[in-house]
Amino acid sequence: MPGENIYCRKLNQVNLISIRYWWPLFIPGSHKRKSMINYNPKEWFTFIFHFHKADTFRKLFPLLIGISIYAAFVAFLETRVFPITDKSFVRNIPIMHNLLGFAISMLLVFRTNTAYDRWWEGRKLWGGLVNNSRNLAIKLSVMLPKEDREQRIFFRKIIPAYAFALHNHLRAEKTRNALFETDEHNHILTQIDKEKHIPNQIALLMFSHIQQLYTDKKIDGSQLIVLNSELQSFTDICGACERIKNTPIPYSYSVFIKKFIFFYIMTLPIGYVFSLSYYVIPVVAFIFYVLASLELIAEEIEDPFGGDDNDVPTEKIARNIHNHVNELI
């Protein structure tokens, strides 16, 4: 009916004005954030002699000092205070390390591969979000009438807003209250509930506008089906990202590996001090560095949506989506 169309147009205008106000608040730029490290993999010299803040050596340095002191103390006891005879069973401890070395290496390889699979899946999901955002923008650019400037501006803002909202949602950042602090935003509360799932609320708002386009006969049924598939992919990606975010590596597995590494390292100087004497100090420290670094790397990349230096650069990807959509619509 004509009255309903007038009401819908007014509602669209209100939503458009609202988006102009709260759209910048989706962009997490109020304070500097970490971004993924860009590097040249061919620069061996730089990798070896430069210690980046994300390097595991810097994180493990205090523990390396502690392990070295412990190894020195054990070496002093076994060589000076309590000399061990050649017939002592303590000299056979390295046999245990030889048997367990293969087991711990296999566990750490599996641990690292599992964590990398989670990281790579997260990156593929955000790559899919980029493609789906482009496809939706391209189709809307063709389907929307050239003179319908309001709807074009609306989708130009709302599509990238979903990416920024998903970025904040996965990092569990408290940005929701900031979206609705002023009275000018009160009318958008009927569209987006700040206490609920923000990405879902934005997807619902997009679908509502597309459905209204169909009601106003600006798009036909076949176009509605095409656009619906694109919108569905947004929530599919969000759900897959939440699955990675909310399902960590099993606790017992992670704890077992840490305990395994700890007892393996703590018994190393006891058995090898007979053959290495005080040289056991740097040897034990180096072995601890290798094993603990693999566990640290796995811990960092198993959650690809955090704020670590090696996590998926979701904010940068969201900004790229913003630039691409603005070019298309």
Length of the chain: 329
- Read off the amino acid at residue 157: K
pLDDT in tens, 213-246: 889 888 888 988 989 988 999 999 999 999 999 8
DSSP 148: -
Higher pLDDT, 89 or 293: 293
CA atoms within 13 A on the CB side of 254: 13
Higher pLDDT, 297 or 90: 297
Residue 119: the pLDDT is 94
pLDDT at 113 over 50: yes
Higher pLDDT, 310 or 9: 310
User: pLDDT class for 177, splitting at 50, 70, 90?
Assistant: very low
The residues, ordered by sequence, that sit 6+ positions from 272 with a Cβ below 8 Å of its Cβ are 94, 97, 280, 283, 284
Cα 160–chain centre separation: 18
Mean pLDDT of the chain: 80
The residues, ordered by sequence, that sit 6+ positions from 112 with a Cβ below 8 Å of its Cβ are 294, 297, 298
Angle, to 10 degrees, between the axis of helix 314-328 and the axis of helix 93-143? 20
The residues, ordered by sequence, that sit 6+ positions from 44 with a Cβ below 8 Å of its Cβ are none
pLDDT in tens, 178-207: 333 434 334 444 566 667 788 888 888 889
Helices (H), the chain: 2-22, 44-49, 56-76, 93-143, 149-170, 198-215, 221-246, 251-276, 280-301, 314-328
What's the whole-number mean pLDDT along residues 270-285?
90
pLDDT at 33 over 80: no
Residue 18: the pLDDT is 38
Predicted TM-score of the model (pTM) = 0.76
Are the C-beta atoms of residues 314 and 126 closer than 8 Å to each other? yes
pLDDT in tens, 48-95: 656 556 578 888 899 999 999 999 999 998 888 777 766 677 777 888
Long-range contacts of residues 226-234, Cβ cutoff 8 Å, at least 24 apart: 226/139, 227/136, 227/139, 227/140, 227/143, 230/132, 230/135, 230/136, 230/139, 231/136, 231/203, 231/206, 231/207, 233/128, 233/132, 234/129, 234/132, 234/162, 234/199, 234/203, 234/206
- Which two three-digit tokens encode residue 317? 């990807």
Residue 25: the pLDDT is 38
Residue 128: the pLDDT is 95
* Domain range annotation of the chain: 54-80+92-328
Residue 176: the pLDDT is 40
pLDDT at 13 over 50: no
Residue 9: the pLDDT is 47
pLDDT at 287 over 90: yes
3-state DSSP assignment of residue 146: coil
User: pLDDT class for 41, splitting at 50, 70, 90?
Assistant: low
Question: How far apart are alpha carbons 221 and 227 in whole angstroms?
Answer: 10
Lowest mean pLDDT, pick from 29-43, 137-151, 315-329:
29-43
Question: How far apart are alpha carbons 26 and 164 in whole angstroms?
Answer: 6
Long-range contacts of residues 136-139, Cβ cutoff 8 Å, at least 24 apart: 136/227, 136/230, 136/231, 137/324, 137/325, 137/328, 137/329, 138/328, 139/223, 139/226, 139/227, 139/230
DSSP 79: I
- Which two three-digit tokens encode residue 160? 């990238």
Residue 179: the pLDDT is 38
Higher pLDDT, 110 or 19: 110
